[in-house]
Chains A and B, each alone.
Chain A
């Protein structure tokens, strides 16, 4: 049990997807301009990461490994994630229209989000058990949501700040990300 908790915390804070592993940078800079869209995107990523890890784990260990075709994991995983995203989108549209309006447009973007494919590869690389990969995915998704939320809050205020002309917009967002990463470095002693 402590093991699962440690995996969760280390994926969320220490090995943060965005700040330490540089995964999912496109949505990080693309949708972090408004808090509302940042939360929707973060929640959508968390959801897809959990489902993707739960589905790719049995595929890898019960189909790819017994037949000795682990090399196919890149092709199989990306297809599984792409179709999962479609299914989740349809399911949400049918069952909960409010949720669909909040997450809808972000779901198709997630297919090419490297954080989602990244977490399935990390699960395989670290030879996590089924529950460990679920907690790793939950931690990674939570960390992604957290950093996206903090970043969007900062960027809303940055728009009003008097930054030098050359730094306006994306360059200052990169510098902000660096400072955010420095402060997250403090979590390193935790686990």
Chain B
């Protein structure tokens, strides 16, 4: 397998940021109330991750080692500001429902973690593969959680204003606790136990 494909698949399953590394949980749990939010968050996250990995892999050779963390943080914060402004301008409704979780991508440990552990040691192409893999892993996890929460919590599935389908009879009496904040804890805890039971990820 080429190194591009290898770096890509590694992030999706074996070092999935949400279910294996348990990093960057805050946005995953907070915005997973609907599929729209999950897709919007993934788009913002992947943009920042890919762009920061590219920039950092380009400049890492001439940034002094002692100041590398502040430099990385400023790069990431600038990218996040760009995303925040773009979303406010082009998708105001989505930007409003994601709220402070967009600017908070700055302190997402996954992004700084990839910058420090991968992009600052590898070339541009490998860093892009790594960012896309981690981004896909993050996206799959958040979409899966929000799919379960929305389907069981409201009894129907909406995507950008279109109703895909609703479960007859169930949508009148859904498990509304799943839409409350604590529903996210329940879903991710159960999914994690399920993946361990199936042997997809190892027990710690």
Q: Which A residues are closer than 8 A to B by beta carbons?
A: 19-26, 29, 71-75, 78-79, 82, 111-114, 117-118, 121-122, 125, 164-175, 177-179, 181-182, 185
Q: How many residues of B contact A (CB 8 A)?
A: 43
Q: How far is the CA of A41 from the CA of B137 in the complex (A)?
A: 30
* A78 with B107: CB separation less than 8 A: yes
User: Does any Cβ of A come within 8 Å of B173's Cβ?
Assistant: no
* B104 with A114: CB separation less than 8 A: yes
* B70 with A114: CB separation less than 8 A: no
* A170 with B182: CB separation less than 8 A: no
Q: Is the interface of B mostly helix, strand, loop or mixed?
A: helix
* A174 with B189: CB separation less than 8 A: yes
Contacting residue for B186 out of A82, A173, A174, CB 8 A: A174
A117-B106, A171-B190 known; A19 vs B182 contact (CB < 8 Å): yes
Q: Is the interface of A mostly helix, strand, loop or mixed?
A: helix
* B204 with A177: CB separation less than 8 A: no
* B85 with A165: CB separation less than 8 A: no
Question: Closest 6 CB pairs between A and B?
Answer: A174-B189, A181-B182, A178-B185, A22-B30, A166-B197, A171-B193
Q: How far is the CA of A190 from the CA of B177 in the complex (A)?
A: 20
Tell me the B49-107 residues at the A interface (CB within 8 Å). Answer: 70, 73-74, 77-78, 80-81, 84-85, 99-100, 103-104, 106-107
